[in-house]
Amino acid sequence: MTDTPVTLEVEDGVGTIRLDRPPMNALDAAMQDLLKELAEQAAARADVRAVVVWGGPEVFAAGADIKEMRAMAYQDMVDRSRGLQDAFTAVARIPKPVVAAVNGYALGGGCELALCADIRIAAEDARLGQPEILLGLIPGAGGTQRLARLVGPSRAKDLIFTGRMVEAADALAIGLVDRVVPADEVHAQALQWARRLARGPAYALRAAKEAVDGGLDTDLTSGLTLERNLFAGLFATEDREIGMRSFIENGPGKAEFS
């Protein structure tokens, strides 16, 4: 454990946002605020070209800090809920590829944090779910919205209404996670994915993420307009020139982007 419950470390173009609040990485208000700050740093830093979100080898995050929440009145949560959502939205809006490396439990706020990533790599023994209903609550950090968009409304309602956990294999089957690997390979594979994309064309990757995410929030015609504008805008970038020149001179897939 570090002295700080959330850290950002950068190496080889990859920023790792590490949750480190043993034993379960319970996401209290201080941790949420720090998560937002570091996500915004990762978004702004030029030396960060891809991001890994990891809770360590034992657990991703087992949800919010229930003891802290239990002491809150309605007025307290009215004030706090915006900061809660903003922290997770800051991760979702990082304009770079983001992968969640999920070991152990990703429940409640932990599952919602994983949903903010572009892909999720989970350990074979990982468990995911939205158990808020068992506390007389609903997900409040994006779970009702991002989960439904990812796995469909019926499956999202099943998980949210029952509060049940799903094993990694079941999560893969419904599209909640994208890869299932041995527990001791989760972090390494997440880094491998991030490092490969960190060498890619940064502006094109940013545009691709904006087009997909923005298109999901609008109608098809507006989404196509967004795509067209982003596509055309890439013709003003050096990466486009590098990629096309390399294709003509050396064949596909050999460009080295700056």
Residue among 39, 42, 50, 64 flagged as catalytic: 64
Residue among 15, 55, 62, 112 flagged as catalytic: 112
Our answer to whether residue 126 is catalytic in this structure is no
Residue among 13, 15, 108, 109 flagged as catalytic: 109
DSSP 60-90: SB--B-HHHHHT--HHHHHHHHHHHHHHHHH
Q: Helix, strand or coil for residue 125?
A: coil
Paired strand residues for 18: 7, 54
Radius of gyration of the chain, Cα coordinates, nearest whole angstrom: 19
Our answer to whether residue 40 is catalytic in this structure is no
Our answer to whether residue 58 is catalytic in this structure is no
Q: Are 114 and 128 in contact (CB under 8 A)?
A: yes
Question: What are the Cα distances from residue 54, in Å, to 82, 152, 218?
Answer: 24, 25, 31
Residue 63's closest CA among 4, 135, 155, 12? 135
The Cα 241–Cα 94 span in angstroms is 25
Residue among 132, 190, 202, 243 flagged as catalytic: 132
Our answer to whether residue 68 is catalytic in this structure is no
Question: What are the Cα distances from residue 36, in Å, to 3, 33, 198?
Answer: 18, 5, 22
> Mind telling me the catalytic residues?
64, 109, 112, 132
